[in-house]
Each structure stands twice: as structure tokens, then as C-alpha cells.
Amino acid sequence: MKLTLATTLGFATTALTAAVPHTKRGAAISVTPHDSFSSSVGVLGCKINTDRVAYWPTPVSCAGVCVRVDAKGRSVFLLKIDTSGGAHDISYDAYNYLVTGQGAAENPIMGGPIEATYEDVDMSECAGLLSNANGKLGFAAANSMNFISSCPAGTWVGDNYSLFNIANSACTLGHDEECHLDLAVSNQPACPHMLGEQSELTTAPVWNKVYGTGVSVKGQ
Ligand SMILES: *[C@@H]1O[C@H](CO)[C@@H](O)[C@H](O)[C@H]1NC(C)=O
């Protein structure tokens, strides 16, 4: 029903995001560091811990976006909310932690791919990475409907998304206010300000840790 709806709304349907099977335990990958937050599905950097993100080749799944990566006897939980061209990138801070046991700000390193394993895990394992007070995953209301509408009720994302009137993943444009989607009324989210309005937003900065130094710089 949601997929039909997406067509009605004029969004490109991305049906395959809804039914990505969970990986078997401990699939082998080679991970590399990524130092600038982005999300192909419109997750807002100011609503999550951007030091714990996975940028992977597989589509973002409606069933859940929490993965556990193990390497060198350590593990991290990551939000898999972006797609890459082929690499298994993870946030620089998470990479730095797997290699050294310390964060990128404390002990920044540079390095190549490391051998790791990963598995999809229950979203409860990633609860601490969501900075939204309501425990939901925050999306940009104006440009995430393609993905959201591909996630049926009963999937984790379908039941646990929230929409904000913030226009970009770095949270520098828009209004930090919640929007509501009531499909009985409209196929567009309703927000206190006009949907997608691009005022300068300075209250919800997203910080990236620069590769090699661990210095925090504000995302653009
Ligand atoms: C949505 O999140 C709540 C609270 O974390 C959880 O109990 C529920 O199972 C989630 N919904 C789905 C479909 O996973």
C-alpha cells in the first residue's frame, strides 16, 4: 500500500529498500575511514551521532539501520544511513577507535583499509546514537519522502521516523522544528514554518572530525 502511495505522490519508488535481507553473522569486509557526514536518505546529522555512521554500497534498509562492526578485538555500533560507490567506509572516529582504542580527537591516526566483520543488529543497540529526545530517527522533511514512503508500517523506519523542517544533512538551513505527515490530509509534511524554507540555521551544528588531525570542523 505504501508503495502504491509513493507512486501516487510522484516519488520514484525504491521498493528494494523495504526488503533487504539481514546479513548472516560476521560477514567479512574491509573498512576505510570517512570524515565528512552525509546521508543519501536524508537523515539529519544534528539528530544523530555522526561519529558512528556506516557508508556502504548496499541500499539503506527500512528494517533497521544498525550494524555492528568488529575489528582488532573491538566493536562499534553504527548507523548505516548512506550508500557508497563500493567502499565500506565508516566515520573516521569509529575507524580510529577500532584501530587504536581511542577516539580521533585523543589519538588521531591515518591508515588504510582494516579487515573487519559486520552484522545487522537490532535497532536497540543503536539507541544511544539517536539524539532525538523521542528515540526516533530524524529526517529532512522536504527531501526524504522518497525513502520514507518506501518503508511500510511495521518496519523500523516506517514506525520510527520523525521529520524536521531542516533542509540539509549538515543542519545549516531551515528550522529545527518537527513536522507531521498526515496522509489523510496531505501528501506533504506540515511544519510550523513553510516546508523546505531555507533560513540560516545556527542552533544545530554538525561536527566533522578532520582525517589525520581529529580537529572538529562545522559541517557545511
Ligand atoms: C519502533 O521503535 C520502538 C521503540 O524503540 C520499538 O519498540 C518498536 O519495535 C519499533 N518498531 C518496529 C516496527 O521495529
* pLDDT reading at 204 higher than 80: yes
Q: What is the DSSP letter of 18?
A: G
Q: What is the DSSP letter of 213?
A: T
Give me the residue label for grid cell 526524504. 144
* pLDDT reading at 159 higher than 80: yes
Q: Whose CA is nearest to atom 10 of ligand 1?
A: 156
- Most informative mutation of 156, 157, 162 for ligand 1 (most atoms within 8 A of CB): 156
Q: Whose CA is nearest to atom 9 of ligand 1?
A: 156
Give me the residue label for grid cell 523495504. 18
pLDDT at 23 (0 to 100): 55
Average pLDDT (166-171) is 97
Residues with CB under 6 A from ligand 1: 135, 154-156, 159-160
Give the contacts of 43 (CB within 8 A, at least 6 positions apart): 79, 81, 137, 138, 139, 140, 144, 169
Determine phi and psi for 173, rounding to 5 degrees: -135, 135
- Most informative mutation of 123, 129, 148, 162 for ligand 1 (most atoms within 8 A of CB): 123
What SS3 state is found at 88?
strand
Q: Model-level pTM? A: 0.88
Q: State the average pLDDT for the chain.
A: 89
pLDDT in tens, 80-117: 999 989 999 999 999 999 999 999 999 999 999 999 99
* pLDDT reading at 24 higher than 60: no
Find the range with the poorest average confidence among 45-49, 99-103, 144-148.
144-148
CB 94, CB 208: distance < 8 Å: no
